[in-house]
Structures are given as structure tokens and as C-alpha cells.
Structure 1
Amino acid sequence: MGAAVRAGDVRLWVEQRGSGPEVLLVNGGGDPLEAWQAQLDGLSDRYRLIAFDNRDVGRSTRPDLAYTVADLADDAAGVLLECGAGPAHVVGYSGGGVIAQELALRHPDTVRSLVLVGTWGRPDVRWHHVVGSWLWMAERAPSERAFLEAFFAWAYTHRAHEDGRVDRTIEAALAFPYPQSSESFQRFADAFWDHATLDRLPRIAVPTLVLTGSADPIAPPDYGRAVAEAVPGARFELIEGQAHAPFEEVPEEFNRRLDAFWREVPDLPR
């Protein structure tokens, strides 16, 4: 069961699962916390997992005003504070990886380690073209289903489209009672449009793993490699044959990589 917590001027919907070392899961785009279901189910026997809906997503506050990635990072810090957690292993996916980077820069005492999945450190011209195409699709698609079909063509492998996974994901999204509006999607994209962390990443001082699908068309391997090269001591790993959502498509392998990485992170001083 989830519950709303107060983080600054917003209320964020949070679910906690399991016990052990604390893990904060940070979504990207318009995903609600349910996107992490395979991690909530697969890692909660060893870890205390905390997942939440970002502002403007799911059951969290839908503000009318613009916000920034710094605001989203402050929200994540607020979730940890309200849950009595941290420093935590932080996993950020896609835009959530950018939020996680900013969290480590703005609130370093809250972060024990970072896993950054399908992410980037600076938007480039290609990134703007990709996200810009999503924005006009969100405005002009003839239906929500049509938008999701077009959007998920970027996110998942050919295999996932052929074996029915994408169709099931679309049906779940259409049945979700708290859909993201096109206005919310625009505000979320605006927050990331010119936000860059790459030049500041050398300030991050926690163990960091950057994971990228070798066939990710949204955040290609060069994006993740640049992030790993900028963070002192960071490790870069490809997940062969995977696109933008390996945590959903190959959750067993994904969870195994996270668990192996976290076992290498030094214990907290007592």
C-alpha cells in the first residue's frame, strides 16, 4: 500500500517494500512507481525499496506552474527525509537518472551510491529532436493509444513488440486511473530541455554504475559513457541487445547487476 508524503510544496505518492539497505527508485518521463514492479517484487527480500510518483505524475501533486530538475531532485530528497531513509542506493531511469545525478550534487548526504540507467549528462541537438517529436505527438495523436504505440516504438526492443509485452504495457497504461495529461508531459519535458549536469559530475563522490542498453535509441551508449567518464571512478556497462527499459524487459538480469554492484559498495560507518 502506498501513502502520500509532504516534500516541500508538493505531496508525493510513495510505496515502500522490504527491509535492509535502503534503495530509492526514481522514474523518468510520465511513469508512475508501478514501472518498478519487477524491482519491488524481486529485490525486497534483501533491500528496503522506496518508489514514488514524481510531481506531475500519477497520484502526486499536479502543479500548474513550471518546475526544474532541481525541484525534482529536492522532491526526491524530501521523500527520503519523510521516509526516515538515507543515505540510500539511488537508481534513476532515463530522466530519473538526470534527477538522481542532481540529487547527488544538491544533497550528497542522501546518496550512498548511484545506478544511472539509460540516461544522459547534457541534452544535444539529437536529444532535442527526439523529445520535440514526442511533444508534438502528445498534442496531435488521435488517441492516447496511438500516442503510446508511437512512443513505445522508441522505448522497447523489437522482441517486446512481437511477443505482446508492449501491447500489455499499453493496456495497463490505458487502465491506470491517473494518466498524465499532455500539459504535464510538456512541463516535465520543459524541465529537462536545457538542464545539464555533465560539467558538474566530477563533484560526485559516491560509487556509480551507469547502465545502457546496447540498442537504446533514446539514450544511446555514447550518452551513458560520457556520464561514466565524468564521474570519478564510475563504471559503465552495456546490457547487450536491450533498448531503453531493461529493468522491465530483462528484470532478472537487471536486478542481478544492481545487487552485485551494491554488494561492492562499502558499508556505512557505524
Structure 2
Amino acid sequence: MEDHPRGTNNRTLDGLIEHGLLERVCEMLPALEVGRATSACRNMQAFAKEVLPLVLAARYRPGLRLQTASASEAATFFDWMRDTHQWHSGPNTSKPFNVAKPGCVAGDDGAWIFLEAGTDWLGFQGLYCNFSSPRKPRWVSFRLCLQTLEFSCGFFALSADRRTWGLQPLVFIFNYRGDDMQTGKRCFALQTQPVTGDLHVLQLEKEQILAGVPYEVSVHLDWDCGLLELFIDGACVLREIPFQADLEPRYIGLYNWRSRAACGFSEPGT
């Protein structure tokens, strides 16, 4: 077997980089595989610092982290928020419900669904969608843009079933808490068992949540252990939160609680 000196391998790699071939390969690979390939050696790590931001900006948007891109690609509901056609109003339509319409966010060229109007504290009356067969996703990812920080809104629910008044039983529910809450104002929260379960409130620094700014939300579900993790903009903010792993999700729900609240949802990585 002929030996190839390390210098020869490095020159070959440098040639691939110089002629743009390695960049083209990275453009075709999933984000997870790109991360693995570019951590193989120092030359690849240097290449990654220069080229990865360009690759991710072309595939998704400028400033996206590789970890977030990987989570987005693995998410089951990755392409459900491009428009309103895959969603139904309700399920409770006996009262005025949230109005959904396409919108945009300044400085962002992704497709957004905005929820406005509706009722005050009368339960789930937003949008929901269901998929033909139960599935247990490892990642659930979406983006949230708040327009009215004073009002509670931005509810995202993953559920195993649908009732006439809402989605139950829940795998988890994520939302923003406004000034209308007695405690935990102007913060994000997550709950896996409403009414009886713990409410996990994210006490962020003052003014850390801003209006008109998209936030990347990713939930990692470990169905074997029955534990989940919550990521905001690629940073893990909650760990080892128990959830009902025996449930088989079939529904997603989006809604606001207040009639004057407005917020937008978008798919991750757009």
C-alpha cells in the first residue's frame, strides 16, 4: 500500500477549497453532516469559519447558527407555516376567533402567518392542523414574532387529540406572557401538563424580549426518557422537563388569548 504524506492530503484539501468544490459539496449536505465534515481538521475548521455563514445565508437566512439549521431540518413540522391553507379555524368557532393572514417582518424575507383579533380568555379559538397518522418528532421548531408585548399571545400547542373547546391532551404548550398575567410578565413560558403541571417561566433580563424581532423556538423531545429541552435562538434555556411520552401527537395549535394581541409564526430557517 502506498503511503500518502500528510502534506499531500493537505494540498489536496486546499485545492478543493481553492476551486470552490468543497463549498459546493457543503451546499448539498444536510446541516448536521456539514458540521461533522468541517470539524475534521484545522483546515476544515478554518474553511468553516469563512464559508459556513455564506452557505447558511444562501440556504436559509443570514446569521443562522449551524445548530439551529440542523434542528430545523430535523423538525417534523418544518414546512407547515408557509401559508394558512394547511390550517383550520377553531376548533371552538362558537365565539369570535383569531383571524389569520399572511404578513411580513421587517428585515426578514420569510413567509409569516399573523394572528389577530379573537376573544379574551375564552380558550382555544385560533388555528389548528392535523396530520394523517400519529408521529413522535424529535424536534419541533418554529419562529415567533410578537407585535404587542403587553398582551399574552403566541401560543403553540402540540397535542394528541382535539376537543370541541381546544386541544387535549397536550404534549407541551409554549407561549408568551404579557402584562395581563399576575405573575411572570413579559416572558416566555412552557408547560407540559396544564392545570396540574408545573409552569416553567423563563425569567429573562429586562427588555430581552422585543416587539418585531423573530425568535427561533426549538423543542427537543426525548421519547425514550420522557424529557424535553427548550432552545431559544439556539441556546438551551430549559432542560430535563418531563412530558407525557406515551402520547402520540396528531395536532398543532396556534392562538392568542387576547383580542388586541398580534403575533406572527413562521417556519424555522426561512
Question: What TM-score does the superposition give when structure 2 sets the normalisation length?
Answer: 0.29
More helix by proportion, 1 or 2?
1
Which structure is higher in strand share? Answer: 2
Q: Which has the higher contact order (CA 8 A, sep 6+)?
A: 2
